[in-house]
Amino acid sequence: LYKFTTAWSRDQEEKIYVQHRLKEHGAEVWEWFENGAYFYICGDKQYMAKDVHRALIDIAIEHGGMSEADATHFIEKTMMKEQKRYLRDVY
């Protein structure tokens, strides 16, 4: 474990979610992508997983200089299906 960052959605008035923390640290997350990091997402399928997925695509666009289509392909095809570096256990 390299880094531990919390995201509390119920402990204060302002709700902070995982996707917010990912975007806050987008440059670092992109560096992890480039260095072969694995990402494991577990939890709510309806909201959290979709929002985290979108945040990862946004990070690839902003910090990887990719187009929307290239970023989506990178996250969904390259990382998830080909390299199996982005795994989800959502329900």
Give all domains of the chain, ordered by start, each with its CATH number.
18-90 (3.40.50.80)
Q: With bands split at pLDDT 50, 70 and 90, how would you rate the model's confidence at 6? A: confident
**Both structure tokens of 46:** 């309806």
Given a cut of 80, is residue 39 above it in pLDDT? yes
When pLDDT is averaged across residues 13-25 and rounded to a whole number, the result is 94
Rounded Cα distance between 63 and 60, Å, is 6
**Both structure tokens of 43:** 């939890």
Output the pLDDT for position 12: 80
The dihedral over CA atoms of 39, 31, 16, 90, expressed in degrees to the nearest 10, equals: -10
Given a cut of 90, is residue 27 above it in pLDDT? yes
Q: To the nearest whole percent, how much of the chain has pLDDT over 70?
A: 99
